[in-house]
Amino acid sequence: MKYIDEYRDQRIAHALVAEIRRRGTRHWVLMEICGGQTHTLMRYGIDELLPGSVELVHGPGCPVCVTPLETIDKAIQLGLRPDVILVSYGDMLRVPGSRSDLFRVRAAGGDVRVVYSPMEALKIARTNPQRKVVFFAIGFETTAPANAMAVWQARREGLENFSMLVSHVLVPPAIRLLLKSPRNRVQGFIAPGHVCTVMGSREYQLLAREFRVPIVVGGFEPVDLLEAINMLVVQLEEGRAEVENQYVRSVSHEGNVLAQQLLESVFEVCDRKWRGIGSIPQSGYRLRPEFAAYDAEQLFGLAEPGVQEPPECVSAEVLQGLKKPPDCAMFATRCTPEAPLGAPMVSAEGACAAYYLYRRCAVAT
Amino acid sequence: MCLAIPGKILETEERGGNRTARVQFGGITKQIYLDFVPEAGVGEYVMVHVGFAISRVDAEEAERTYRLLESLGLLESELGAASDVRN
């Protein structure tokens, strides 16, 4: 496929690896934020191709992984109601809540449906006027405009049986939190290309300036990521801390202004809890008060369950790049994609699942 | 989750107040909303995420940067033996 195949060209990839090796004179710790990028790095073995002077740590950019346990439990409460059709992106069904998951809710007779696009949830609402259709709206800035459009459209149509359980998260506040931590080791960031396609690169300039850290907006194919890593190494070696854009074929400085305007009309920024990390100030979106009629939390008066993560799961440290998945005693033993203890093992984009799938597990057999 | 895939617009149409397009991804085609890139036209590539186009692929930029990368790749193949020694 055009714009994919050429960015998987082995010859270019090897040339970039050689370039990174030539440029690097010191040890540099880089983080890719986005779980999609983690997946590419593992799938193509890029972490093993790179010279030892470049260490990659993996960031918290997997929305499935960071959706709080409490919110999963709320989705489960909704899915169990006979008057509700709960509609979700497929990845969410296997995520363990405190006692169950949405797959088990479905097995127990709950009407839980998977869609590719939030607009399909509207279609389900139109064709089931006697039922209440709740869309489980998760995701980063990439996904938020589509979810915002679903609410906008529902209001335009006067669709009264549609609402959303919103758990949106934002990337820049998470980077800020990582950089402010006294335990931070990350010296350069690969910013997520599709988040920046929507939001542009402006917010990252503030971070680069404030923390004197280079940030390169990167794409998702192997050549994209290797080029982004090379750009970071060059900046670090030259003592620069700027925002550069590797993913120019999709990302502009100002981003997608129409999508940003819709986000602004439908959502407002709020504090948000991230699974494994805790509450991050101003790191999420919730529906604006004028869209309260579409807010499932208010409509259904959902209880705020007090819940705890399994204490043996180290996902908090994995999601902050402080530990790698094989550092966890449960990794690939008691915690596998079939029976995950923590969220990073659930989604294919979670760091633990990516390590497991692509055999980065030095496990005694 | 944040994956977006490049696809080629085959035709566009109005559907219930939304501008949509038939977009081809390799062997399959899908109906995609163009609300966020209303200026995209037939023959152009768009990046698509959960049913919405979120950007038009900048064909010129893509071509320019790819040529740069390709020349790096060619250079590397030509200097293959030498760079092996260097590394």
Owning domain of residue B52: 1-56
- Asked whether the beta carbons of residue B72 and residue A15 sit closer than 8 angstroms, the reply is yes
Residue A220 inside a domain? The answer is yes
The pLDDT of residue A364 is: 41
- Cα of first residue to Cα of last residue in chain B, in angstroms, is 37
Q: Are residues B20 and B34 in the same domain?
A: yes
Angle at Cα A171 formed by Cα A165 and Cα A174, nearest 5°?
Answer: 100
Q: Are residues B30 and B52 in the same domain?
A: yes
- The yes-or-no verdict on residue A104 having pLDDT over 70 is yes
Please name the member of A3, A19, A197 whose beta carbon is closest to the beta carbon of B54.
A197
The closest of A283, A276, A278, A277 to A340, measured between CA atoms, is A276
Say yes or no: B6 and B45 in one domain. Answer: yes
Distance (Å, whole) CA A207 – CA A205:
5
Q: Largest Cα–Cα distance of chain B, in whole Å?
A: 63
Q: pLDDT band for position A315 (50/70/90)?
A: confident
Q: How many domains does chain A have?
A: 3
Would you state the pLDDT for residue A125?
98
Please tell me the number of Cα atoms within 13 Å of A317 on its side-chain side. Answer: 12
Classify residue A345: in a domain, yes or no: yes
Shared-domain flag, residues B33 and B62: no
Each residue of A44-63: pLDDT tens digit? 999 999 999 999 999 989 99
Mean per-residue pLDDT, A206-232: 97
Sequence-distant (6+) residues with CB within 8 A of A364 are none
Residues B48 and B62 placed together within one structural domain of the fold: no
Structural domain boundaries, residue A285: 65-170+255-299
The answer to whether A35 faces chain B, any CB pair under 8 Å, is yes
Shared-domain flag, residues A70 and A160: yes
Question: How much is the pLDDT for A361?
Answer: 62
Instruction: Say yes or no: B68 and B50 in one domain.
Output: no
Q: Chain B contact for A2, CB < 8 A? A: yes
Q: Are residues A69 and A191 in the same domain?
A: no
What residues of chain A lie within 8 A of the CB of B62, using their CB? Answer: 3, 248-249
> Is residue A305 assigned to a domain?
no
Residue A72 and residue A162 in one domain: yes
Tally the domains of chain B. Answer: 2
Q: Are A202 and A228 a contacting pair, CB within 8 Å?
A: no
pLDDT score recorded for residue B84 = 42
Kindly state whether residues A81 and A110 are assigned to the same domain: yes
Looking at the fold, whether B8 and B22 belong to one and the same domain comes out as yes
CA distance B61 to chain A (A): 6
A31 part of a folded domain: yes
Q: How far apart are CA A68 and CA A86, in angstroms?
A: 18
Domain shared by A139 and A264, yes or no: yes
Bridge partner residues of A217 (DSSP): A191, A245
Q: What is the mean pLDDT of residues A335-348?
A: 84
Could you tell me if A157 and A71 lie in one domain?
yes
Same domain, B50 and B69: no
Secondary structure class of A15 (helix, strand, coil): helix
Based on the fold, state whether residues A239 and A287 are members of the same structural domain: no
Whether the pTM exceeds 0.95: the reply is: no
Are A279 and A209 within one domain? no
Same domain, A53 and A75: no
Restricting to A residues 202-241, those with a Cβ less than 8 Å away from any Cβ of B are: 220, 223, 227
Instruction: Among B3, B25, B36, select the one facing A256 at the smallest CB separation.
Output: B36
Consecutive H or E run containing A361: none
Residue among A115, A126, A142, A217 with most chain B CBs within 10 A, to mutate: A142
**Same domain for B49 and B17:** yes
In this prediction, residue A121 has a pLDDT band, given cuts at 50, 70 and 90, of very high
Count the Cβ atoms, other than its own, within 10 Å of residue B40: 21
Please check whether residue A134 lies inside any domain of the structure: yes
Assign residue B34 the CATH number of its domain.
2.30.30.140
Task: Specify whether the backbone of A218 is left (phi greater than 0), alpha (psi in -120 to 50) or beta.
Answer: beta
Q: How does pLDDT run across B62-84, given as a tens digit for each residue?
A: 888 788 888 877 766 666 544 44
Residues B8 and B31 in one domain: yes
- Mean pLDDT for A332-349 is 85
Do A42 and A20 reside in the same domain of the chain?
yes
| pLDDT computed for residue B79 by the predictor | 60
Taking 60 as the threshold, does the pLDDT of residue B7 lie above it? yes
Q: Let me know whether B37 and B14 are in one domain.
A: yes
Angle at CA of residue A337, ends A139 and B4, nearest 5°: 35
Contact A306, A197 (CB under 8 A): no
- Prediction ipTM score: 0.92
Residues A48, A72: one domain? no
Q: Which of A62-66, A69-73, A293-297, A310-314 has the lowest mean pLDDT?
A: A310-314
The reply to whether A18 touches chain B by the CB within 8 Å rule is yes
Query: What Å distances lie between residue B5 and A41, A193, B24, CA to CA?
Result: 18, 12, 10
Q: Give CA–CA dist B42/B44, Å, rounded.
A: 6
Closest CA to A341 of A321, A317, A311: A311
Q: Which residue(s) pair with A32 in the sheet?
A: A58, A190
| Predicted confidence (pLDDT) at residue A98 exceeds the cutoff of 80 | yes
Chain B residues in contact with A156 by the CB 8 A cut-off are: 17
Question: Which is more confident, A162 or A306?
Answer: A162
Close Cβ partners of A113 (under 8 Å, ≥ 6 residues apart): A85, A86, A87, A88, A124
Q: Tell me, what's the pLDDT at B77?
A: 66
User: What is the band of B85 on the pLDDT scale with cuts at 50, 70, 90?
Assistant: very low
Mean pLDDT (chain A) is: 93
**Chain B interface mutation, best of A249, A256, A265, A347, highest count of B Cβ atoms under 10 Å:** A249
